[in-house]
Amino acid sequence: MEERKIRRYLLYALGEILLVMIGILLALQVNNWNEQRKAKIKSITYHERILEDLDIFISETNQAMKRSTSIRNLILETIDFLESKNLPEDKVRVFENTLHFYYQIPYRHPSLTTLDEMRSNGDLSLIGNLDLRKKLIQLDQDILSNDEVLVQIGYQSQNPVFYIDQFVRSIPDTSSLTSRGIKVNPKFNFEAMANDEKLINYFSKFSVQWSHHIMFSKGLNESANELREAVSQELENLK
């Protein structure tokens, strides 16, 4: 009789323990589901923001390539004027635009801010597609590397700019002063410039630098377009 009571008590105790364990496991499972759900929502948000960053990057590099191509063409046309020692009246504006823009090479590309944030927060693992994650990180590194090269180009351009500046005077047009800036009318000695081989050579080097900028922007733009398609597809899979 006593043994039967003990057996029933043990079974009851084991049952209680089992129920508690099941409750704990269920609670852990529910908590795990909640954490996975939160991580998925966060991952989706990150992918959407990366897509926005890439759209901005693609748009801005497209504009940069157009601007760089336009300025490079101005410089090449100016070199032709100098080498022929002839500046037609209807081309004076082209020459003036060259003097205004030739040295204004952009030294920064737009960054992928969301990727930087994920790296800082330790959330890179939320880009579950490992191959996509590696390619995004590689693009980010390529942007930084290209920017470093452009900065070095900028340092090397200082002496040529100082040399060319001795032939040019910048006259501000105070009548055109607005909150957006002021128009500057360059005054120059075309004959002296056309007879200076060193100056012409400096302009040719600037045309090469602008070509480098076009090349860098084009490569990054193509990579960003490819990654945009991959991120968009991954986002569809997550949803």
- The per-residue pLDDT for 39 is 83
Show me where the domains of the chain are located: 2-238
Whether the predicted pLDDT of 43 surpasses 70: yes
- The per-residue pLDDT for 35 is 72
Rounded mean pLDDT of 126-150?
94
Burial class (CB in 10 A: 0-12, 13-18, 19+), 85: exposed
Categorize the per-residue pLDDT at 62 as very low, low, confident or very high, splitting at 50, 70 and 90: very high
Distance CA 66, CA 62 (A): 6
Residues 6+ apart with CB under 8 A from 217: 61, 64, 65, 68, 109
| Residue reference for tokens 């209807």 | 90
The one-letter code for the residue type at 158 is Q
Rounded mean pLDDT of 8-36?
70
- The per-residue pLDDT for 108 is 79
Rounded mean pLDDT of 152-177?
84
Please choose, from the candidates 171, 165, 151, the residue with its C-alpha nearest in 3D space to the C-alpha of residue 203. Answer: 165
Mean pLDDT taken over the chain:
88
Whether the predicted pLDDT of 72 surpasses 60: yes
Query: Which of 27-31, 153-157, 203-207, 225-229 is the least confident region?
Result: 27-31
Distance CA 174, CA 160 (A): 28
Task: Return the DSSP state at 127.
Answer: S
Region for 110 from its dihedrals, namely left if φ exceeds 0, alpha if ψ lies in -120 to 50, beta otherwise: beta
Task: Return the DSSP state at 181.
Answer: E
194-218 pLDDT per residue, tens: 999 999 999 999 999 999 999 999 9
Helix or strand run (H / E) with residue 186: strand 181-188
Rounded mean pLDDT of 173-185?
66
Q: Where are the beta strands (DSSP E) in 85-144?
A: none
Whether the predicted pLDDT of 141 surpasses 80: yes
Rounded mean pLDDT of 181-206?
91
Region for 122 from its dihedrals, namely left if φ exceeds 0, alpha if ψ lies in -120 to 50, beta otherwise: left
- For the chain, percent of residues with pLDDT exceeding 70: 88
